[in-house]
Amino acid sequence: MTIDALTTNRLQSLSSEDAASTTLGSASFAGYLDQIQQDHNRSNEQAREVLRVIKDAMLGLLTDDEQDSDLLSSYHMIQPFTRSHHVLSSDRTYQVSRYQQQAATVHASQAEPVVAEEAEETSAQPHSLKERIEQLIDRVAQQVELPSWLIHSVVSAESSYQPDAVSPAGAEGLMQLMPETAKEMGVNDSFDPQQNLIGGSRYLKRLLNKYDGDLDHALAAYNWGQGNVDRKGLEQMPTETRNYIARIRQTINPMG
């Protein structure tokens, strides 16, 4: 065999080996690519599974599932907290901070003096009906320019500070106004303490002016009627009117 023939055979042999080698390399590379794709798919699946677990756990927090909270806490995804440290709304969970708790404490401590002040103001207000009427009498006395002790004495003798008192003769209210007298003095409701006191005090002042400040004549006319006093005088006063004047004077004298 000539050198050329040997050379040709060798080249043919090498070509066959290269082709086989190339085929084998292609197959190995394709397998490697398949392995990478499989690993990638497994990684994606694992990642999706982790996301699913996290999603379920987060949804569990909104329904106050302590098991899901513990799960996330174990992976250091959230700080653990319990029911006593959070407040649930309709769709969110809010953490109650210590600053809010401190603010509530400060607000409560500031509210205590207000309550105390309200209690002091309440204690300063009159508690009984008689106390309220006594204060009202003092204001009416200034309004009609009569001594308050005089109005107090008449109210005590007439009704004992009872605004709903009614006499057998039909006199009504604190100063026992007859319906005709009440109407004359502009009183629409004799059982209204303020109306009754203003009407009765103005009527008493009118009588004092009529009798030149003579208290006995004015009181007799208030109790017995000024017509009777004008016609009969004090000498014929009934026992009831005499006792009435005596009670009022007895109340006045200790006052000086």
Active site residues: 158
Q: Measure CA 178 to chain center.
A: 46
Tell me how far apart the alpha carbons of residues 99 and 132 are, in angstroms, rounded to a whole number.
Answer: 48
Tell me how far apart the alpha carbons of residues 83 and 87 are, in angstroms, rounded to a whole number.
Answer: 7
Q: Do the beta carbons of residue 120 and residue 141 sit within 8 Å?
A: no
Cα atoms found within 13 Å of the Cα of residue 60, Cβ hemisphere only: 15
Q: Do the beta carbons of residue 208 and residue 195 sit within 8 Å?
A: no
What is the rounded radius of gyration, in angstroms, for the C-alpha atoms of the chain?
54
Tell me how far apart the alpha carbons of residues 174 and 190 are, in angstroms, rounded to a whole number.
Answer: 8
